Structure 1
Amino acid sequence: MSSLPAPASGPAASDSSRPRVLVLFGGRSSEHAISCATAGAVLRAIDRERYDVLPIGITPRGRWVRVADDPDRWAIVDGRLPEVEDVPEQVLLPQEVGTRELQVIEPGSPAVDLGAVDVVLPLLHGPFGEDGTLQGMLELADVRYVGAGVLASAVGMDKHFMKVVLAGAGLPVGPFVTLRGDDYETDRDGVRAQIAALGLPLFVKPARAGSSIGITRVVDPADLPAAVAEAQRHDPKVVVEAGIVGREIECAVLGGRGGARPRASLPGEIVVTDAAHGFYDFEAKYLDEAAVQLSCPADLPDDVTARVRDVAVRTFEAVDGEGLGRVDVFVTPGGEVVVNEINTMPGFTPFSMYPRMWQESGLSYPDLLDELLQLALERPTGLR
């Protein structure tokens, strides 16, 4: 299994001009600020001689607006989280198949043509962006986009169905219990019995959230109700997972060219070094970099590295992934590789694990962006 992608081919635009890339970010989820930070890094790195770039933000209310093409505007600085601001205008996608023209409308003014786009780079994390909803909208508009399609995005976002699909494909996943709505209140004894069988510690997670938002590590059963309540602040469906003893290893996957199998990077490892963080939580990821050690490539025996990469590719294929995905696994003391999750739109700043793993595998951040855009431009729209 090769680590390095094939060289990028020439631009796949409909004419001789540079392909026009709509960089889309922000969104309605609790990961709005992380999406903005990712976009800032992409705007800084994308090759402007190769691509024409149009940044569009989605406000927390869901309005699409034109935004500043300024990487510094979207960075997380001194704990300040960036946000797409609401303005009266609204950007509209093409309204019929066969056209790629964007429009801007404002109250009391005629629509303004923004021109055509060749591909959308959707840098949205969490619900209403990474979960298949946006991908469905782009499919309806017949617009190419980077990354997973509708089904893979939805499965990758929902930790419950993700585990069901991966287990059905014969991949190893840890024990878990899913709680829907008021399950915990209406059948507390039954739910507690199921959860007790998982042992301790437990990880209580919103089923459809990312960036470790809403996750609680539970070491005392008395803390379970509060953990469930915290997760349900972000999603009415909750997944309770058994804690797995093992090293937290990640592997980056890129879609294959011309029908070839996906490609896996060298794995990386996350080690939380500050006891103030019980696990790799939101603060450790984005606000307290000194509390985390990110090792890439991970110090693993060659045979374990090969198994991690194989499991990562099989996980990507099991959900019908496209473009990119980051597969997170545990490597147990006995060398078993257990899948934790797949993230179909992983963090994408130069310091995020996904691009770092490809950097260590021989593909720079700008070249990785180019590869992803070329994969999307090659991909036909519609059913495939």
Structure 2
Amino acid sequence: MKTKIGLLYGGKSAEHKVSMQTALAVIKALDHSKFEVHPIYITKEGQWVKGPLLTGPVETVKELEFSQGEALSPTALAPTLFQASEQKGPFDVIFPLLHGPNGEDGTVQGLLELLNLPYVGNGVLSSSAGMDKVIMKNIFAQAGLPQVHYVSFIRGNWETSPEQAYAHVETELGYPCFVKPANLGSSVGISKCSNRAELAAAFEEAFQFDRKIIVEEGVVAREIELGVLGNDYPECSVAGEIVPKVEFYDYKAKYEDGNTALIIPAEITEEEYKTLREMSIKAFQALDCSGLVRADFFVTKEGKIYINEVNTMPGFTPFSMFPLLWKHTGVEYPQLIERLVELGIDRHTQKQKIKHTF
């Protein structure tokens, strides 16, 4: 019997394009003799469209962009959207290949929980907390994980007193600093600031993508990342290093112009790796994660290690850091996908043991 898998991708998010590339890569890597692959496309406008059964790999993103048709909500579609067919019944597992808001932030995970469907990756709490950089950093602080200094702002407060906000950044953090939307990934809307004029422009840019932003102290450090895989007993990959050829690792460097070198394994000491591994697992458990995360760190030349963030649905093409880290650890891309499917089904099975009456 093939495992019936529903691939959920696209999304009403600035990271729609990234999600499409992820879906294309996963479909190419899946063993179609083991999996029955059903695409579910979420358009940029937020419509959910179930595509035809895929009997083999597809070559272009365009083949995964199905016509929108009538706008329907996922709950209205639930009886047909989330099952292979009337004869074959519901999917064995849903694989949400979604990045950013309306997909990686716990919203879709909540829907799947309500429908009692198995799914790959992090649950509602870890997804939402991991998406919001401010909440995530507050949890990490409570867990005792070292971080660079940061402050956050709500759009309304900034609009009321912009100069006060800029002065607060200068007092608490100084320059250089980084301004980021709180609820977005893929380096969208991020700016590095060296003076007041750049800071004001960065606030304007970041607030286009979220009502909340975070400003972080700039540090001179190497960017080291680890992959974490598992549920209750997570394991870590080897460490990798990101070396941008530009000033910082922005969206273009990640996805468009190739101005980035990925060094795997990273040249670090055994003691540094031990610390990074322990911090990765501590962060994973602090957010109650499951399935996968990529844990990102700063390592200074003085040997100080700061956790930057975790990504609960990291870039997932074969050339993205997370799959490459596991490849160098001995887990090839198709095996990694199968392992994640197993972890999603196992977590769902464990949750069915919970009593709901007394």
Residue 73 of structure 1: CA displacement?
1.9
Matches within 5 A, 1:256-295: 256=231, 259=232, 261-273=233-245, 277-289=246-258, 291-295=259-263
Matches within 5 A, 1:159-170: 159-170=133-144
Match of 2:191 in 1: 216
The whole-number CA distance in structure 2 between the counterparts of 1:18 and 1:376 is 16
Q: Look up the SS of the partner of 1:293 in the other structure.
A: strand
The whole-number CA distance in structure 1 between the counterparts of 2:5 and 2:205 is 38
Identity %: 42
Residue 101 of structure 1: CA displacement?
4.8
Residue type of the alignment partner of 2:113: E
Matches within 5 A, 1:1-384: 17-67=1-51, 69=54, 70-74=57-61, 84-89=65-70, 101-103=79-81, 113=86, 115-196=89-170, 197-256=172-231, 259=232, 261-273=233-245, 277-289=246-258, 291-380=259-348, 382=351
Q: Look up the SS of the partner of 2:117 in the other structure.
A: coil
The whole-number CA distance in structure 2 between the counterparts of 1:232 and 1:192 is 14
Deviations 1:317-373 (CA, angstroms, capped at 9, x unpaired): 110000000011001112121011110000000000000000000100000001000
Deviations 1:176-222 (CA, angstroms, capped at 9, x unpaired): 11010222232334322320120211111000011000111111222
The whole-number CA distance in structure 2 between the counterparts of 1:224 and 1:91 is 42
The whole-number CA distance in structure 1 between the counterparts of 2:10 and 2:163 is 41
Residue type of the alignment partner of 1:307: T
The whole-number CA distance in structure 2 between the counterparts of 1:218 and 1:248 is 19
Contact 1:29 1:60 survives alignment (8 Å): yes
The whole-number CA distance in structure 2 between the counterparts of 1:154 and 1:378 is 21
Deviations 1:157-177 (CA, angstroms, capped at 9, x unpaired): 000000000100111111111
Deviations 1:96-141 (CA, angstroms, capped at 9, x unpaired): 9xxx85349xxxxxxx848420110000000000000000000001
Residue 93 of structure 1: CA displacement?
5.5
Contact 1:95 1:141 survives alignment (8 Å): no
Q: Which moved more, 1:156-165 or 1:174-183?
A: 174-183
Q: Look up the SS of the partner of 2:174 in the other structure.
A: coil
Residue 142 of structure 1: CA displacement?
0.5
Contact 1:102 1:117 survives alignment (8 Å): no
The whole-number CA distance in structure 2 between the counterparts of 1:323 and 1:350 is 18
The whole-number CA distance in structure 1 between the counterparts of 2:164 and 2:141 is 24
Q: Look up the SS of the partner of 2:137 in the other structure.
A: helix
Contact 1:59 1:83 survives alignment (8 Å): no
Which stretches of structure 1, 4 residues or longer, exceed 6 Å deviation after superposition?
none
The whole-number CA distance in structure 2 between the counterparts of 1:315 and 1:130 is 17
Q: Look up the SS of the partner of 2:14 in the other structure.
A: coil
Count of residues in correspondence between the two structures: 345
Q: Look up the SS of the partner of 1:102 in the other structure.
A: helix
Residue 83 of structure 1: CA displacement?
7.9
Q: Look up the SS of the partner of 1:375 in the other structure.
A: helix
The whole-number CA distance in structure 2 between the counterparts of 1:376 and 1:331 is 32
TM-score (normalised: structure 2): 0.91
The whole-number CA distance in structure 2 between the counterparts of 1:158 and 1:103 is 29
Higher relative helix content: 2
Q: Look up the SS of the partner of 2:153 in the other structure.
A: strand
Taking only aligned residues, the RMSD between alpha carbons, in angstroms, comes to: 2.2
The whole-number CA distance in structure 2 between the counterparts of 1:161 and 1:378 is 28
Match of 1:14 in 2: none
Gaps of 5+ in 1: 1-16, 76-81, 105-111
Residue type of the alignment partner of 1:296: I
Residue 254 of structure 1: CA displacement?
0.3
The whole-number CA distance in structure 2 between the counterparts of 1:62 and 1:39 is 17
Deviations 1:292-316 (CA, angstroms, capped at 9, x unpaired): 1100111111111111111111111
